[in-house]
Amino acid sequence: MWQIPLGSVHRILCLGAHSDDIEIGVGGTVLELAERVSGLETCWVVFSAPGPRAEEARSSANDFLADAAFKGVKIGSFRENYFPSQWPSIKDWFEEIKANFDPDVVFTHYRDDRHQDHRVLSDLAWNTFRNHLILEYEILKYDGDLGQPNLFIPLSEKVSERKIELLMKHFQTQSGKHWFTRDTFEAMHRIRGVECASKTGRAEAFYCRKLVLTPI
Q: Which residues bind Zn ion (CB under 5 A)?
A: 17-18, 21
Contacts of residue 128, defined as CB under 8 A and 6 or more positions apart, other chains included, come to 91, 94, 95, 97, 98
Measured from the CB atom, is 24 or 34 closer to Zn ion? 24
CA–CA distance, 211 with 134 (Å, rounded to integer): 9
Residue nearest to Zn ion (CB): 18
DSSP 8-state symbol, 204: E
* CA–CA distances in Å: residue 117 to residues 76, 183, 190: 13, 25, 27
Q: How far is the CB of 210 from Zn ion (least distance, A)?
A: 24
Measured from the CB atom, is 40 or 53 closer to Zn ion? 53
Q: How far is the CB of 113 from Zn ion (least distance, A)?
A: 8
Measured from the CB atom, is 18 or 163 closer to Zn ion? 18
Measured from the CB atom, is 17 or 90 closer to Zn ion? 17
Phi, psi of 156 (to 5 degrees): -70, 160
Q: How far is the CB of 170 from Zn ion (least distance, A)?
A: 15
**What is the three-state SS of 12-52?**
EEEEECCCCHHHHHHHHHHHHHHHHCCCCEEEEEECECCCC
Q: How far is the CB of 123 from Zn ion (least distance, A)?
A: 15
CA–CA distance, 20 with 24 (Å, rounded to integer): 6
Q: How far is the CB of 138 from Zn ion (least distance, A)?
A: 11
Contacts of residue 32, defined as CB under 8 A and 6 or more positions apart, other chains included, come to 6, 153, 155, 156, 159
Measured from the CB atom, is 18 or 53 closer to Zn ion? 18
